[in-house]
Every structure is written in C-alpha cells, then in structure tokens.
C-alpha cells in the first residue's frame, strides 16, 4: 500500500488531482459555512448557468493545444446566433438558417487558419481582429438591438431536461468526453500536442503541421457556431453586445485546466474541473455579499495565475 502511494506521488498523481481536491475542499467549506449552498437548486444553478462558458472553454482548448490562440470564439458564437435569429425573423426555415450559421463559423475558422497558418500572421492579432469584425457583424445584422423570437424547436432542443438536468449541460459534458477521447486516445490528439510543443520537430517527424493547425482553427469556428445555436436556444434572444462577457472566462478555465489531470497541457477534463472551481468560488463570494464586479476581478486574477502556473508546469515537464 505504501509502495503504491509512493508510486502515485512519483508519477505526479497528487499534483494532477490537486485542483480537483481544492474544488472539493472549497465546496465542502461552502456547504458548512453557507446554508444556501445546501440547496440543490443553487448547486444545479451553478452547474447549468455555466454550461455556455464551459462549451466555449472546451472549444478554446482545441487551438490552444496546437500552440495558437483563438480569441474570436465568443464573437463567433454571438455572430452565428445573430445571423440565425435574423434569418428566422425573415421567414427563412430553421433547417436553412442553422446550416448557414455553421457556414459562418466555418468561414471564420478558415479565414483565421489561412491568415495564421498560411501567411504567418500572429494568432493573437488575427483572432482579435476577427473578434472585432464579428462584433460589428452582430450589430449590423441585428440593427444594434436585442432580437427575440426563437422557434420552440430550438428552445426545446436546449432547455429540455434529462434526469433533471437541461440538455445544454449534457452537451457540454458530451463535448468534454469527446475531446478527452480525441486528446488522450487518438493519434490526432498526440499530433496536436506535438505541434503545439515543437512544430519544427513535429514537421521533421512527418506530422502535417499546417494541416493540423488549420484544422484546429476550422474546428474551433464550426464548434463556436454550434455553441451559438445552443446560446440562442438557451436565452431565447440575442444581444449583439454580449460577446465581451464571454471572452475572458473560457480562457481562464482553459489555462487553469492545464494545472489538473494532464499537467502543463490543455485538456478537457482539467478544463471542466477548473471552470467549476471558479464558479464555486465566485458564487460563494456573491452569496456572502460580494458585489457583481467581483466576478471580473476573480476571473482576471485566475487567468493570470493560470497562465503563470501553466508556464511553470511546462518548464518542470521540460526539465524532466
């Protein structure tokens, strides 16, 4: 037994599950100290209210794993949602509006990939530009106003419950499992990691570096558009100015996730644990009377700490 425990520590087991342990500890402290946390309604609300952010955080890991950035995912979500609702209001069938929204996401991803991979423009600058352009696009198609009137079919496809949990949360968990399988159990996941760590060595090893990187941006765009459809069904309306509210949190969760499960690497399960840790901490502070601005401060500090921790974990791995 002692030997097994030592082996567990030697393989980094304690470090891998430290973030999960912190989540459990904070949750237990909140349950003991804050009576409101003993309500399943509050716990369910925390889980379900963060499903859109969790979806975006998981999408963010795709490009991050290949060594790039995609800051446009939140605005791709809003842009696709805005395009869908405007087309619906113009009496375009839902079966036509949805594919067009996905095409928009694919076009954004392809353009990002072309500029970053094909031409060599910095990914941060490129996707920040896409973010700004899509923000303008959302204001353009919605005429700078909130647009409502989502068909009940789309609403039911997102809000309906299975085992008491809305489908939007199930979608997030399913995406996490799919990405976990791809990252940990397929050659593509290993290629992405190889490309993100050392593209020159990956190229010499025969990996199609440009194809992997371009595919990551394309997948990011398409999945962001699908998240936009889920966003539309969940809220039943689109505010063209809401994209900025979803930019920071997914990145904070993705970077903090590199400190769990698979240390120093962007991974799906670590991202899930990181997001729930953040929301439990924020909710606890808000229940205790903290102002709403605490959320932005909390996520901002968490992002800085997460990036620093990710860098340190990467250096330790490189020294082994």
pLDDT in tens, 164-196: 889 999 999 999 999 999 999 999 989 999 898
Residues of the chain short of pLDDT 50, as ranges, are: 1-11
Residue 72 gets which letter from DSSP? T
Spatial separation of the C-alpha atoms in residues 211 and 229, rounded to whole Å? 27
d(CA 168, CA 43) in angstroms, rounded, equals 16
Report if residue 216 sits inside a domain: yes
Strand runs labelled E in the chain: 147-148, 161-162, 165-166, 237-238
User: Residue 309: its pLDDT value, please?
Assistant: 61
pLDDT at 1: 45
CATH of the domain at 288: 1.10.3470
Residue 24 lies in a domain: no
Task: Report the domain count for the chain.
Answer: 1
Residue 23 lies in a domain: no
**Residue 115 maps to a domain:** yes
* Alpha carbons 81 and 238: distance in angstroms, whole number: 7
Could you tell me if residue 6 is inside a domain? no
The reported pLDDT for the residue numbered 243 is 87
- In this prediction, residue 249 carries a pLDDT of 85
Query: Is 34 among the domain residues?
Result: no
Handedness of CA 52, 58, 62, 68 (dihedral sign): positive
Rg for the chain, CA atoms, rounded: 20
The reported pTM is: 0.86
Burial class (CB in 10 A: 0-12, 13-18, 19+), 98: buried
The DSSP 8-state label assigned to residue 117 in this structure reads: I
Which range of residues forms the domain containing residue 101? 41-319
Contact 27, 245 (CB under 8 A): no
Residues 261 and 273 sit within 8 Å (Cβ to Cβ): yes
**Domain membership flag for residue 10:** no
- Per-residue model confidence (pLDDT) at position 62: 96
> Does 21 fall in a domain?
no
């Amino acid at each position: 037994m002692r030997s097994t425990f030592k082996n567990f520590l030697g393989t980094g087991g304690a470090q891998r599950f430290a973030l999960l342990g912190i989540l459990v500890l904070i949750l237990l402290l909140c349950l003991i100290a804050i009576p409101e946390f003993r309500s399943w309604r509050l716990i369910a609300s925390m889980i379900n209210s963060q499903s859109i952010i969790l979806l975006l955080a998981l999408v963010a890991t795709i490009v991050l794993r290949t060594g790039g950035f995609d800051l446009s995912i939140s605005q791709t979500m809003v842009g696709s949602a805005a395009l869908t609702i405007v087309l619906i209001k113009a009496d375009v069938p839902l079966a036509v509006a949805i594919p067009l929204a996905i095409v928009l996401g694919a076009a954004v991803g392809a353009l990002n990939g072309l500029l970053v991979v094909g031409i060599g423009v910095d990914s941060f600058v490129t996707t920040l530009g896409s973010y700004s352009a899509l923000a303008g696009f959302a204001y353009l198609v919605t005429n700078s106003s909130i647009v409502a009137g989502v068909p009940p079919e789309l609403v039911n496809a997102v809000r309906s419950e299975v085992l008491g949990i809305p489908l939007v949360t199930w979608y997030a968990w399913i995406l996490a499992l799919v990405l976990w399988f791809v990252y940990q159990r397929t050659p593509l996941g290993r290629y992405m990691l190889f490309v993100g760590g050392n593209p020159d060595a990956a190229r010499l090893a025969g990996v199609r570096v440009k194809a992997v990187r371009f595919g990551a941006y394309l997948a990011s765009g398409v999945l962001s558009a699908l998240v936009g459809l889920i966003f539309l069904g969940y809220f039943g309306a689109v505010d063209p100015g809401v994209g900025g509210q979803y930019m920071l949190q997914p990145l904070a969760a993705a970077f903090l996730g590199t400190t769990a499960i698979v240390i120093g690497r962007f991974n799906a399960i670590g991202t899930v644990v990181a997001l729930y840790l953040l929301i439990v901490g924020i909710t606890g502070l808000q229940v205790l009377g903290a102002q709403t601005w605490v959320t932005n401060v909390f996520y901002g500090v968490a992002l800085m700490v997460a990036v620093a921790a990710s860098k340190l974990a990467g250096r330790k791995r490189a020294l082994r």
